[in-house]
Structure 1
Amino acid sequence: MSIPVSMSLSAVGVVGAVNECVTLFQWAKSAIPSLYSRWSGSQEQILQDHVLQLESGLQRLRDTLPAMYDLVNKAEWRSHEHVVAKLLPNLKDAVAEAEDLLDEFGWYEKKVQVEGNASQSSFIDFFHTAVQGSLNKLNDVQLRLNHLSSQLENMGLRGVTRCFDKLVRPETTSLPNETKMFGRDKELKRLLGFLNVPTISKRKRTTSSVNASASSSSSNHVGSESGILGLHVLPIVGIGGVGKTTLAQHICSHQRVKSHFEMIIWICVSDDFDVKGLTKEVIQSCTRNGATTDNLDSLQCDLSNHVSNKRLLIVLDDMWDDALKENGQCWKRFCAPFRSAQHGSVMLVTTRCPNVTEGVRTMEPVIVEGLKDDVFWNFFKLCAFGSEGSNNDPELESIGRSILAKLKGSPLAAKTLGRMLSMDLQASHWNSILESELWELKQEETDILPALRLSYMYLPLYLKQCFAFCAVYPKDYRFHKARLAEIWVAEGFVDPQCGVPIQDIGCQYFEDLVKRSFFQIISSRYVIHDLLHDMAQMVSKQDCCILRNRSDLDKVPQNVRHLYVLPSSEFDDSSLLKLCNYTKLRTLICKKDLKRKTGFVMGEWCTKLLCMRVISCDSTNELPDNIGNWKHLRYLEINKARPLKKIPSTFCWLYHLQILYAKNCRLECLPDDFGKLISLQKFESVGLTYYDGCRMYLGPDNKWRKITLMKNLNQFRGHLELIDVHLLSKDHAAELNLKNKKYLDELKLNMREDRPTGFPESDIEFDIDNNDVEVLEVLQPPISLKSLFLQNYDDSWLPSWFQPHNLPRLTSLTVVHCFQLESISPPASLEKLVINDCPNLVSIGGAKALARIKTVEISMCPKLKEAEQINTISHLRDWRHRR
């Protein structure tokens, strides 16, 4: 799947929503004279002018947003600067306000699509709440965006390119910063083996001995063009701060390595893989003199001569994705001069990017993980106390061991916290650090979280927002790929692509983050490494918050967008009512069960929190009548089983709603206007699981409940299969309301099927004596139907709706075991016809009708004389006839 490189921040689809509001404004303009015919011409003109101003203002705002998204991305690269860091949250907040405003008019557009000109109240509501109420707000948002963008651009952000500031990512060298390396003996031994470094150092070796040595480690070599050039590429991979560079430095300073290789070249690549610049650096490293030309061909010829027939160790430290730009051609150009190097030369590449590893390696990578507990403790003591000894304050050591668990074996994290701890050897200071979240602690540019933040910064913009959002979930949360993708879609983080289901695109985003090691797979679920989670919380601290206890309420930023409430005993209804103060909330995941009071609390949320897009409640016994206020809502989830018997009619005003999970709730019916939820893609409740394109099976179990729930589910998209149809009464069958399910693609009707042994008696009284025709007559499908399957139908004639004008798009018809059926008239649109075991069938429209059908399969129809004529039709693509 092709994923765009650059994209907007949240609500990507919202930017295009104004284009979809053409119908809304056409309707508004045409409604003015008809609704206000008694007005004077000047009053009508004023209203028309207001509508035009609103339409042009929204279009201007839509045109502004792409530049604002780009500015946010540029500002993030400079967010280590104090002034930029201060302005960035304000810019994001202004962008979010603009998105909310556009999204609200997208809701009105959908309302017009659903309601049409049904009532004058539709326009009156639009005029009072949208036209009059939004003009000033629209102007304020536009002015705010203009002001903030002007400030940031005056600071030089207009020309900012994606690169790391040297303060954030200092240049590295081949000389180790640490005299001692902790816990890497295994990795060091493996690297020496992969480099073919002999146990006894000998600088001068014969060609045969070199070749023999090279072949000794061939088991680690994999096929690659770089390997054919005589240069093997060995990646050292791990997350930021885990010690990749330190390991490479100790390799370069190892006496056996220095004796084995004639030349060791160290290049700090970082995020600017410029072939010409890197080639100059290699030449300078070889000759100790700068390059005398700027021509790439001359540079590469010079480099080829310098390395010719020499056994090299080249270290490319800190390589990023841009090394693979131009579809890998950039990397190949850089490697070209090393064709002349002696066989046995090796290039070490340190990277935190798995895709870089896969793109350049010719050998299996060495993966560097966190230090093991005992070794890590010794290293931590050195960082915090200045020595590895045990003559430290026992109380501080005890606190230190508790802090250690947060650091997940990361050497850089130990250095970061160790420096903070060493500043004050008081238990109170150490405890304050223990009780703080790592992301809350002030850190220098080269400390652990700023170092990990580089990985985030290098993400494409569309992945940044997806990963940063994950900070709303607690540590060790187990993510389900498809579910998180649905929430990303609901938040507006996923860009639609023509012909690809948007949830599939969201899943691809997730896989991209997995490939970049932002998620780890554990038992078929995914988790985020604790340090990466801390980094996510750092970059999203203004947007995402987790409430663990009541005191956390005091730490929530006023403009917070996403909240997760853990099931603390400290939370009560008054605590959750305080969330109404955060009026810009878009996401609320509430794991606190307030039992009967949840409905009341949710009612207050529906009054104050009007920007909600995602709501997940542990449980609720009712949905409030004012739930229709949530114009932006896309995702609603109720986790636990509660007696949620009905859904209020105002729920049907949620025209943006995409997902409704109430799979543990036993709903008795859906509102009559449920079909107005034109955006609904997935719905789960006890007795019914529906999603876009699914195959719905209505067998004997829970059939009546499913029929009741499906009655108003006119958004149904996909395939419907009904078993034991003859057990339904005519009234029961009519409740399915199939004709109004205009997105139904495939319908399979099995009129009778033996009840399985031991099947429980249903509590529904079925009219077993009903005639098949009566039941089938009211199961008329929509004109959109493409495929119809009919089995065990017990009558001579098909129902009256089986006519070409009622089934203009039917392309596939299958009729099986219909023993009394005498005649079928295939629609002209039919492309495939299958008839099996219909012993009384006499006619299927004649040979001329069959000639239009591409595939015909007929078997066990002894009275069907027309089948004999079909052999004369030469252009029939597939024809099978068996007596």
Structure 2
Amino acid sequence: MAAETFVFNIAAKLLGELVSPAFQEACLVWGVESDLRRLENTLSNVKAVLLDAEDQQVHNQELTVWLRQLKEVFYDAQDVLDDFECEALRKQVVEMQGSTARKVCRFFSSSNPLVFRTKMAHKVKEIRARLGEVAADRAKFHLSPRSNDRHVVRGREMSYSFVQASDVIGRDQDKDKIVEHLMDPSDGQSISVVPVVGIGGLGKTALAKLVFNDERVIEHFELKCWVCVSDEFVLKQLLVKIIKSITSVNCSYLDEEQLQMLLRNNLDGKKFLLILDDVWNEDRGKWIELRNLLMGGANGSKILVTTRSPTIASMMGTMSPYNLEGLLHQECLSLFIKWAFNEGKERQHTNLVEIGDAIVKKCKGVPLAVKSLGSLLYSKLDERDWLFVRDNEMWKLNRKEGDILLVLQLSYNQMPSYLKQCFTFLSLFPKDYEFNTLDLISYWMANGLLQSPNENQELEDIGNQYIDELYSRCFLEDYIDLGYLREFKIHDLAHELALSLAQSECLIINGQIQNISKKVWHLSYTDNTWQNENVLKCLQKSKGLRTILSTVEGVGPSTKSFVDSCLSKFRYLRFLNLSDLSFEVLPSSIGTMKHLRLLDLRHNCRIQKLPNSICKLQNLQTLNLCGCEKLEELPKDIRYLIRLRTFLLTTKQKSLLGCSNSLRILGLYNCGNLESLVETMQVHTSLRVLRIDNCGGLISLLPTLKFLTTLEALMIENCEKLDLTEMEDNQDDFPTSLRALRFIGLPQLVAIPNWIKCSVKSLQILVIQSCPNLTALPEWLVNLESLRRLTILNCPKLSALSKEKFCLPALRSFRIAECPELIRRCQPEIGEDWHKIANASEIYLDHKRIK
């Protein structure tokens, strides 16, 4: 598989920066216009043939080497251009301060302008010479210019549930047989293990989810838990996952003995079902160690194991493995049509269905291959696109039976170049990692991977479009829409593809690593690797690093030498994760990391103060201080972070200093002393997401809301003193574009605030939970014409939906739990309010699905 597949994207971004008006002006100021013009011309000529080079490299190893050389020059060129941008931002901050300019200038003091000009002129000449030397080799490859990258064209409505039975075709018989095994009491085992084995992409996990959610299984077992095991079979990690699945509590801070005791207490005497999904461990000793800890359940408890390995199935199972077979051809064709066409439209394109039939035969009954190619062809009506897939050279390659990585590769190859780079970035995360859109989009943004021809489009919206596209190509799964963010995982086969594609520049490291290539740009770690001096030594030559990321909560660098190395050696970092630090002081040299876009300091429980020098990071877009419980106050010059878009914070302050008006996402967590946000919010006229969680001192929010006219998502949780209903005289001043609203743990809430009416046309998700004094829903609730999800949990005084006609045309999901009288009124067919909710496609009463 070719590794250099998004060089075009880097070149396009570089060229865009070079021709921008702001950069052209900077060139004149610093006297490098001539050299940069020649750099632009060379870059433009090379870019024209890069798409052809990326496609042809599969047959020509020399091309791959040439593209890799170009990429190195491009990355270095990005650093040079970024130096100019940093200087321009520094000047911008100084100029915007007016009478305090002298003081600000001292704070942002930098090298002599003449020295900067000379140094940058030398760097530009060096880059131009290197690029010219590498670019000259393009003539020997006989490449053809191609000006247009592939564009994303999607129209399919997204689905956000874990698994819909209607989306799984041809597995009813398999489901019934497995359910029979799980409910069979006559196998003579105190705890039985049912193994399901099959090749990758057959749908083992989807089948296990159908079984897990089957009504017969729900009624039969007192306790159910689901754990995705994947590559690591580490006892402590598995115990944490099992307990979290049972209790919804993260117990990673406990030691192994405490976890074992907690597990026994939760399983004691209960008939349970445990799903161990995607098992790779062949060490019988490790399995027996876990199995022995699960013996405390009642007789009839079952474990369902899914695996690709017959050896593992035989080792773990107490019965013969259930071998999952491929789908029948007609079932595959039905699945393909479901993904390739809007419902019923296939009848208008019989020629395409005929070609699709031939494509499906090549998929050998593997559902993931069928869905992937169907989604690839969705909305494409040109016969040539379909013939391209049917007759692709990929099918001629020697491959193992059922190996669908090449099918996913074909889908990957048809991605636009910018999306390929975002996809390969996912290789930095372990298999089964739980992503959310807010974090991932910030990660992509930090490395400049989000781009759009529309300059007015918000970066966060571009990132969401990218995620939707990856999902529509079947690369993502377990999609859950929470309104203000979405959670998902990358399919394990897609993860394998990402690893194979990104191995030249993305690397997950561990303590055993002996060598790290200087061409690696992005690093992540999953254990206490940074305590290993050998790793730090290996990193010394990787001075061009862009990303250092931790992917496991609770695992952070515990040595000061690591932090010092980051700040002194890796000067071009865009993304630095220093979460879970174990010391009190962040070095003031953090202010020299001028290229930094994302700084993650979450869960640094000992840090009391941040150096004011952190405010020199004008390029910073994301700052995460969530869980910094001892942080006394923010630096006084925090307003100088003029590009900050996402700010997550825990602090002891009573009020917050105003930040830049560039802020789009603000999260306040466990700020117990916080009393007011009024002064803070007056400048945040572009804020789109506001989350306030466990801020017990906060009394009022309404004056603040009047400034947040662009707010799209508001989440307020566990604020016991907060009153949301006062000062509602002039409702015209409140946000009019809210799409998601969550009120959780608000004892002062006795009625739904009337100011929500301002968003009557836009509100899509409304969640009300643990509001013990809420007595009624407003009559205007029936006017929420866009509401598609309504959830009401643990509001015992709420006794009815509405006196008026209650028919929400867009409502899809309706959930009520722990509201006794309301539950009674919503009983199917017989409840007084049933007719008001019956049009919803998904209805849950007390966590039991009714429809």
State the TM-score, normalized to the length of structure 1.
0.48
Structure number, greater radius of gyration: 1
Q: TM-score, normalised by structure 2?
A: 0.50
